[in-house]
Structure 1
Amino acid sequence: MRLKIAVGLIVAGLLAVVWGIGLKTIWAPPETVTASYSSDAAAPLTVIEPAVLKQSPDNVDIKVEGDGEFLLAVGRSDDVKAWVGSAAHTTISGADDGALQGSRTDGDAKVPNPAGSDLWVSEETADSAIDYSWTDPAPGQWSILLAADGTKPAPTKVTVSWPNDTATPWALALIIVGALAAVLGGALAVVAGKRSVPPAPPAAGRPGGGRRVATEPSSPVGGWTPDRESGRARFAAGALAALALAAGPALPAQAAVPAAEAAGAGTEQAAAHPVLLPGQLTRIMDAVGAAVSAGDSAKDAKKLQDRVTGPALTMRSANYRVRAGKGKVEAPVPVSAGPVLTSMISSTPEWPRTAVAVTKGKNNPVPQVIVLSQAEARENYKMIGAVQMLPGTKFPQVSTEEGGTAAVAPADKDGLAYSPQQALELLSGYLTSGRNSNAVAKNTFADQIRSFQKDQQTSNKNAKITFSRSIDKGSVRTLRTADGGAVVYGTLRSLMRSLPSESGAVVELSPEFAALAGADSTTKGADVTYAEAVFLQVPPAGSNDKVSVVGVAQDLVAAKLK
């Protein structure tokens, strides 16, 4: 019986060894997995979703084939989805059973060309085909957008390949277990061979003085004693335990890895990532700087419109008109695209989005705060404000290393000493009459403004001059700071109204006012409007700090006869 067990162990062990070696060689899994998708359903856009790009923690190779030139753009998944909007598109959503899964969504048959959008972290143009090696640009969910020109069909022939998991822990376990089983079987065979020839029992008594051996009646002559039998049983059990230990570390671990992956799959929490990466911000700043430089050089507001809007466009356009009419105003302060000293990027995905960059170029005596805004997904970022930092001020810190921070609505006071709207109203009163000094910190800009206002009122004998201010509500942008407070950008419209001091009196207009009003004087009066762009720091709730002015810019923007 023992010999049969030994032979069975040897055979089973050798089969396990052969099986394990086969798993490493003949039946080894392929090194690369490939899945493809192709469709004849035409749509102007094709989206490759994150599930396709996350088939492997290592690189995923993507091959796209199309007719003629096409664009491959990489963007955050939510941004790609927002840009696609209501357009007809093909979605490649994942891989299953060796094939990529895709579907078509009906919608607009034509869209703008997505090339050059600020939403894309990177983009490449290909002719007929492209081989693209995918790696995540940064933490978060990413997608790929394919398009021809927005009117022609986008490519839909996509092949994805990634490194396969070629680990075969069962193979090593089988080889180890098989070898141990064969060795154990051989040992049992040897033992069984010796047991088959028992020694002769000793003589009970032999003449000539031979030795007598006394035996206990209960002790079987020539066999194993009970102690010896149990010892050998323990040896066999120990050997089997060794086999289990040898296999144990390899087998359960293989089962645990997929379980851990399954537990983590789909549970990634949406992180508040900044809506722009540093490379995107640099590219945007370069485009803004180039547009402003072209407009300033030609005194042509049309050259600004692709990258400048809102108060910044109004202020520069008026400056060009005044200077063209021989008005005595200084040229606007140049906008430096870089270097970017620090930045604050909104992590709030909704539009409009805000980005703030602090730069200092060689033509700027002090650092500038450039405020950028993106109105909606298919528009690029445009500069809405450029202010010069006041002497002695420091730019507030952002709580995240990436520079991302939450946006705040104009009327939102949550966690703040004042809402953004309230902070601007406090500053407006402080500039106009000096009130609200208990809430607004003293600053050189306010001192200069009130000095100018007083001078205008005392020096014009033929006119009664008053000042009032209102907030351009569409200009307000707010981002949280590391201390729990916020920075607020907004524009105040400062109205200087000049009325004749008595009937028939003539109010003379300065050359810069005349350039905008179209006349040198009036007997009815005139309204002159200045834009005052301000960048404020609002303290957190419970703080004893005041609202402080970090940067400002002021320009004449309108003059109208009454």
Structure 2
Amino acid sequence: MVGNTKGEIVRFVLAIVSFMLAAVMIGYGIAQQTILATPDEVSVSAEMDGTAPLTVISGEAFNTFSGNQTIRIEGPRRIVAAYGRSTDVLAWVGDASYNMVSIDPETGDLTTETIAGTEQEVPDPYNSDLWLENYEAENELALTVKIPTDVSFILASDGTEPAPNAVSLSWPLDNSTPWAGTLIMGGAGVLLIGLIFLMWAVHNMRRAGGPRRKPQKMPKVPKKARYKQSKRGSQASDASSLRTSARIAIPAVLVSAIILSGCTASTAPNSAADQTVPSPSPAATDEAPAVTAPAVAVRQIEKIVAQISAVSQEADDERDADLIETRFSDAALEYRLANYKMREADDDIALPVAIPDGPVQLTLPQQTDTWPRTVFTIILDETDSTVAPIALFLEQKAPRDNYKVSYAINLEPSVVFPDVAAASVGTSRLPADSGLLRSSPTEVALDYAEILEQDLDSDSYLDFQVEGDSLRESVGLAVKKKEKAALSSTATLTYGHELGAADPIAMATVDAGAIVAVHLYETKVAAPKEEGSAVTFSGQTKALSGISITEEGIKSTYGDQLLFYVPAAGNDEKIVLLGYTQGLVEASELK
């Protein structure tokens, strides 16, 4: 009996301990998600009260803590927000006054400083080609981004009004409680174990409380009858009371555990939802050698090409010279302006080859952090498989200028393109008189023009690859001879050439060669042989010159935009024509 009593005591003690431990575990699990819960983000803010038209927020401020960065901007009017490389942002700002927003490393607060400049008004920065992305809204704008330390934000209204006057940055905090669910469920399990101990102890107590016989005693003198409650009755009453309490306690505790465990949701430890707690970013100890970044990123070029495509299509359809000048220059602009003029006089003349909006097949930016900048790109036309890919040379003269197409060249069919550097690395632009190539860009243009006029008799004939050169077939010596033969006996036809107005562009390739674009003028002079005779014209020459017959003669100038691969100096490979665009750009009567 003593052993049973000790066992019951141990079971009661274990039940009590289990109940206390369960209460602690469940309570702490719930507290983690309620009274002990931490904030879900950290935020800093700043206000500007000056009249500067621009605000710049440094990339270091955005990277004060790790994780996604949320910027909230407020102002009384239109808001323009954009981000780009920090060097590009400051180059665009130039001499303008602006607010500089940075982070105080000691307090962790945003600080503002007004940088006085000579310009109080700037162009609208929206849609500048320097930005990786830009946004606009009215009065309030919120964005979530993830930018590195070498990228900065620029804020403005319209360039004339003060920049937005309030900005805040915030980062998410990991306030997840991965152990809350485990604690609550574990506490429920411990509670269940405690109930088992309690029921076990009660069950044994009931079994140990059965009837007991007492030894008989000798008869005594009768006394007045008296009723007394027996020990068995008392024990039975106690057991009954304990059974009643247990029946009440067990359901109540179970219901409480179920309710407590069901009132919260939590993730398991080390689950996919866990995030790294944002913390101040450590400063780099070892600095890598400085490498000049490429002029643009592929994402920028894709956006620029799409805008150029939209402008060219609208301008080509409407023959809008003012619009086309916003995105074209030099040889590419000259070609389109001449086409617009001819189409005004003759609707049968075809439009220029359209610039597709993508996809961008190749991007080769110049490796530079100064201006002007040059980018070479090749674009496919997925809507029309019969159209050859188009190669564009884009140039940006100054930070606030947009990139303009200086050369737009149709590639030769089945052209094999040389290997070039990755877009993330970029390449160098070589000067027009570079001695690093088999022939300098200027020499390439003049030597090829000589081949078009003399063919085998040209001193440079062996320097150029013949196979795949369709321009020779179109305007070479054989064609020129046919044109002369078809001319009447009363007229003469004279051919010539000279360098075009556009500067040559040479972009280095991996093998130390270069992709070279040159501008060449081919001239054709048709004049009567005898005094009093006349020469008649039709088609493009008539449309551009406005003359159908003349006794003086007409000089027609064709603009050739030529793209070559030129090997490195000392290399025996031939110079290859990669593509060309040719069109009549001028026609006038001889004086």
Say which of 392, 405, 420 aligns to 1:398. Answer: 420
Say which of 465, 488, 491 aligns to 2:519. Answer: 491
| Secondary structure of the corresponding residue to residue 579 of structure 2 | strand
Task: State the partner residue of 2:109.
Answer: 99
Say which of 342, 346, 350 aligns to 1:326. Answer: 346
Partner amino acid for 1:371? F
What is the rounded CA distance, in whole Å, between the counterparts of 2:314 and 2:172 in structure 1?
50
What is the rounded CA distance, in whole Å, between the counterparts of 1:262 and 1:291 in structure 2?
45
| Secondary structure of the corresponding residue to residue 438 of structure 1 | helix
Indicate how the Cα distance of structure 1 residues 339 and 311 shifts in structure 2: closer, same or farther if over 3 A, else same: same
Indicate how the Cα distance of structure 1 residues 54 and 260 shifts in structure 2: closer, same or farther if over 3 A, else same: closer
Say which of 544, 548, 553 aligns to 1:516. Answer: 544
Task: State the partner residue of 2:10.
Answer: none
What are the within-5 Å matches in structure 2 for residues 83-122 of structure 1?
83-96=92-105, 97-106=107-116, 107-122=118-133
Task: State the partner residue of 1:218.
Answer: none
Indicate how the Cα distance of structure 1 residues 259 and 115 shifts in structure 2: closer, same or farther if over 3 A, else same: closer
What are the within-5 Å matches in structure 2 for residues 156-555 of structure 1?
156-162=165-171, 261-264=283-286, 267-326=287-346, 329-349=349-369, 350-363=371-384, 364-400=386-422, 402=424, 404-414=426-436, 416-434=437-455, 435=458, 436-442=460-466, 443-450=469-476, 451-460=478-487, 461-555=489-583
Deviation for aligned residue 1:365: 3.0
**Contact 1:342 1:359 survives alignment (8 Å):** no
More deviation in 106-115 or 402-411? 402-411
Partner amino acid for 1:134? V
Provide Cα deviations, 1:151-197, integer angstroms capped at 9, x if missing partner: 0001243333447899xxxxxxxxxxxxxxxxxxxxxxxxxxxxxxx
What is the rounded CA distance, in whole Å, between the counterparts of 2:490 and 2:343 in structure 1?
27
Deviation for aligned residue 1:34: 4.6
What is the rounded CA distance, in whole Å, between the counterparts of 2:545 and 2:95 in structure 1?
46
What is the rounded CA distance, in whole Å, between the counterparts of 1:520 and 1:327 in structure 2?
16
What is the rounded CA distance, in whole Å, between the counterparts of 1:474 and 1:86 in structure 2?
31
Provide Cα deviations, 1:218-271, integer angstroms capped at 9, x if missing partner: xxxxxxxxxxxxxxxxxxxxxxxxxxxxxxxxxxxxxxx99984523xx35443
**Contact 1:513 1:528 survives alignment (8 Å):** yes
Indicate how the Cα distance of structure 1 residues 86 and 454 shifts in structure 2: closer, same or farther if over 3 A, else same: farther
Partner amino acid for 1:511? G
Please give the root-mean-square deviation of Cα atoms over the aligned residues, in Å. 3.2
**Contact 1:327 1:515 survives alignment (8 Å):** no
Deviation for aligned residue 1:393: 1.5
Partner amino acid for 2:332? A
Task: State the partner residue of 1:125.
Answer: 136
Partner amino acid for 2:548? D
Deviation for aligned residue 1:529: 0.6
**Contact 2:376 2:391 survives alignment (8 Å):** no
What is the rounded CA distance, in whole Å, between the counterparts of 2:421 and 2:394 in structure 1?
20
**Contact 1:327 1:512 survives alignment (8 Å):** no
What is the rounded CA distance, in whole Å, between the counterparts of 1:151 and 1:365 in structure 2?
45
**Contact 2:364 2:421 survives alignment (8 Å):** no
Deviation for aligned residue 1:52: 1.8
Task: State the partner residue of 1:247.
Answer: none
What is the rounded CA distance, in whole Å, between the counterparts of 2:397 and 2:87 in structure 1?
16
**Contact 1:140 1:271 survives alignment (8 Å):** no
| Secondary structure of the corresponding residue to residue 139 of structure 2 | strand
Task: State the partner residue of 1:10.
Answer: none
Deviation for aligned residue 1:551: 0.6
More deviation in 440-449 or 497-506? 497-506
Deviation for aligned residue 1:135: 1.2
What is the rounded CA distance, in whole Å, between the counterparts of 2:537 and 2:149 in structure 1?
58
Specify every segment of 5 or more residues in structure 1 that has no aligned partner in the other structure, as ranges.
Answer: 1-28, 167-256
Task: State the partner residue of 1:81.
Answer: 90
Specify every segment of 5 or more residues in structure 2 that has no aligned partner in the other structure, as ranges.
Answer: 1-37, 176-278
What is the rounded CA distance, in whole Å, between the counterparts of 1:291 and 1:152 in structure 2?
28
| Secondary structure of the corresponding residue to residue 502 of structure 1 | coil
What is the rounded CA distance, in whole Å, between the counterparts of 2:461 and 2:418 in structure 1?
22
| Secondary structure of the corresponding residue to residue 371 of structure 1 | strand
| Secondary structure of the corresponding residue to residue 527 of structure 1 | strand
**Contact 1:292 1:304 survives alignment (8 Å):** yes
**Contact 1:45 1:90 survives alignment (8 Å):** yes
**Contact 1:343 1:358 survives alignment (8 Å):** no
Task: State the partner residue of 2:257.
Answer: none
Provide Cα deviations, 1:190-212, integer angstroms capped at 9, x if missing partner: xxxxxxxxxxxxxxxxxxxxxxx
What is the rounded CA distance, in whole Å, between the counterparts of 1:351 and 1:276 in structure 2?
12
| Secondary structure of the corresponding residue to residue 40 of structure 1 | coil
1:149 aligns with 2:158: yes
**Percent identity (aligned):** 28
Q: Which structure has the larger Rg?
A: 2
| Secondary structure of the corresponding residue to residue 429 of structure 2 | coil
**Contact 2:126 2:135 survives alignment (8 Å):** no
What is the rounded CA distance, in whole Å, between the counterparts of 1:404 and 1:346 in structure 2?
5
Say which of 55, 64, 75 aligns to 1:66. Answer: 75
| Secondary structure of the corresponding residue to residue 405 of structure 1 | coil
What is the rounded CA distance, in whole Å, between the counterparts of 1:369 and 1:377 in structure 2?
23
Indicate how the Cα distance of structure 1 residues 504 and 352 shifts in structure 2: closer, same or farther if over 3 A, else same: farther
Size of the aligned set, in residue pairs, is 443
Partner amino acid for 1:483? D
What is the rounded CA distance, in whole Å, between the counterparts of 1:537 and 1:306 in structure 2?
29
Deviation for aligned residue 1:98: 2.9
Task: State the partner residue of 1:50.
Answer: 59
